[in-house]
Amino acid sequence: MAERKVRVRFAPSPTGPLHIGGVRTALYNYLFARQHGGDFIFRIEDTDSNRFVPGAEQYILESFKWLGVTFDEGVSFGGNYGPYRQSERRDIYKKYVQVLLDNGKAYIAFDTPQELEAKRTEIANFQYDASTRLQMRNSLVMPKEEVEALIAEGKQYVVRFRIEPNEEVHVHDLIRGEVVINSSVLDDKVLYKSADQLPTYHLANIVDDHLMEVSHVIRGEEWLPSAPLHVLLYRAFGWEESMPQFAHLPLLLKPEGNGKLSKRDGDRLGFPVFPLEWHDPKSGEISSGYREAGYLPEAVINFLALLGWNPGNDQELMSMDELIQLFSLDHCSKAGAKFDYKKGTWFNHEYILRKSDEELAQLFKPVLTAQGVNPADYSDLYLTKVVSLVKGRVNFIKELWDHSRFFFKAPESYAEKDVKKRWSAETPAIMEELIALIEDLESFESKAAEEQVIGWITAKGYHMGNVMNAFRLAVVGECKGPHMFDITELLGKEETIRRIREAVCAISVM
Ligand code: GLU
């Protein structure tokens, strides 16, 4: 058989914000498509109108835009297999439901919810299947005329899939290997409802994958139980030849303990489970997103790529291009992947370090504005130097402020414990000496200034730690931060002296 063109799809239901597990599913599909020079389709599965949430589709699209995951066709992208929104494909599904009715693979059922409920009380573990279907109100037991009359009357009905019992159903999964189940465990799934004239997920999903020539279905493990039914549907349509290959991805697990990752874990431990902030249109509740929390999209991609896949060695930092090269379903694990959100923070740190100082300076500007500092008051060169001095200490861009505020504002107070430890009765006199020394310095460049100041402290026999820390306390407000003379070089002689004077006044009266 000729190699099939790789065509994969991401097919979310617009029922709310996109969960981070869904983002990973989309990412793996994207990597797979790009690696094979295939197509990546964006399909909206909105046949369950009760669960439709306005804004969800837009949210999903915006998430992928931010993350740099691109589609070739689908809702909002166009393509030759449209429409790509299932609610716009009603007529197509109707036609295929009729195919199954005509070839006897499906039947019409009139059982009301009350009747079904009554059966459930009558028969323990009732399942609508080969063992019970002849006791029910459907076209298998009713005369053709009666069925037609009921439909003409406007009675509501569903179309059910007629599953033959006691057959072995094989699902070949590219990650899990061969999965075999007995068809008797399956019920006669509803494929179509006359009430809203819409198919259910199963029918629409199979018909679309077939018509859109999907070659691989890569999706979350929660869909594995549906796979045997899907295989049977392909068979019922006579489409075995073009059946996509399945790959069910491992679950994302809680960071600690057992079970599936949930939004509650995120709330409890303080990390987002959605790519973007989500404002629930009904409840008004706001859920945090990776973008707003300050993550770089590259870091989120890299982090997610490794949740359920590895490159076969211990390489961790990979760009999107490298991931496209390296990705393989063979290296996806069957076992659930622990959602180690702290690792996500580490990735963010690494990606901050990989950015140029110029770019970081630009990203820092909105943070400055939010802190009441006008970035326009500083040259790009100044901002670039500031970030270069402190970037090693942060995991998020916004944290740059905590480590660099003294480059923009003189201390308004001095850390008490540092004062206690480093500022004594003799300090003001020593600081005056330091001021005099600095005033006379020819160069205030870091190395040169350092040499002179250290030389003076040594010659005078002063305590190196005490003098240097008092100096730092005066300029920074506390005894921490980057190399002292890098700070003073940037602040300049005048500001440095001003700050020492200010500290001598302020601290003496404390
Ligand atoms: N609409 C399903 C979802 O929300 C698609 C599942 C599949 O990929 O088959 O994930």
Give the CA count within 13 Å in the CB-facing half-sphere of 304.
28
Count the residues in the chain: 510
Residue segments in the chain with a per-residue pLDDT below the cut of 70: 1-2, 509-510
Question: What CA dihedral angle connects 287, 289, 294 and 295, to 10 degrees?
Answer: 150
Range 356-397: architecture per CATH: Orthogonal Bundle (1.10)
Nearest protein Cα to ligand 1, atom 6: 11
pLDDT score for 2: 62
Please tell me the predicted confidence (pLDDT) of residue 509. Answer: 56
Helices 427-440 and 464-476, axial angle in degrees (round to 10): 80
Res 51: pLDDT: 87
> Closest residue (by CA) to atom 10 of ligand 1?
12
CA-proximal residue: ligand 1, atom 2 (nearest) = 12
Which CATH number describes the domain made up of 410-508?
1.10.10.350
The SS3 assignment for 83 reads: coil
For 1, the token pair is: 């058989």
Angle at 445 between CA 498 and CA 353, to 5 degrees: 100
For the chain, report the end-to-end CA distance as a whole number of angstroms: 86
Three-state SS for 423-438 is: CCCCHHHHHHHHHHHH
CB atoms within 10 A of CB 369: 12
Report pLDDT for 49.
82
> Per residue in 317-333, pLDDT tens?
999 999 999 999 999 99
What amino acid is encoded at 175 in this protein? I
Q: Measuring CA to CA, which residue among 398, 495, 374, 388 is closest to residue 438?
A: 495
* Residue listed under structure tokens 């861009």: 397
> Which residues have any ligand 1 atom within 6 Å of their CB?
11-13, 45, 205, 217, 219, 223
Q: 6-17, pLDDT tens digit by residue?
A: 999 999 999 999
Whether 263 is catalytic is yes
Answer yes or no: are the C-beta atoms of 179 and 227 closer than 8 Å.
Answer: yes
Ligand 1: atom nearest CA of 226 is: 9
Give per-residue pLDDT as tens, 152-181.
Answer: 999 999 999 999 999 999 999 999 999 999
Select from 489, 503, 504, 486 the least CA-distant residue to 390. 486
The superfamily (CATH) of domain 89-249 is Glutamyl-tRNA Synthetase; Domain 3 (3.90.800.10)
Q: What is the pLDDT of residues 232-261, one digit of tens each?
A: 999 999 999 999 999 999 999 999 988 999
| SS3 assignment, position 10 | strand
CA distance 295 to 275: 9
Where do the structural domains in the chain lie, given as residue ranges?
Answer: 89-249, 356-397, 410-508
**Sign of the alpha-carbon dihedral angle for 142, 145, 149, 152:** positive
CA of 152 from ligand 1 middle (Å) equals: 34
223, 226, 233, 234: residue to mutate for ligand 1 pocket, most atoms within 8 A of CB: 223
Query: Residues 6 or more apart from 124 whose CB is under 8 A from it?
Result: none
12 CA to centre of ligand 1 in angstroms: 5
Distance 10 CA to ligand 1 centre (A): 7
CA angle 65, 260, 14 (to 5 degrees): 40
Catalytic residue among 94, 119, 260, 263: 263
**CA 60 – ligand 1 centroid, Å:** 14
**Among the listed residues 294, 263, 297, 295, the one whose alpha carbon sits nearest the alpha carbon of residue 280:** 263
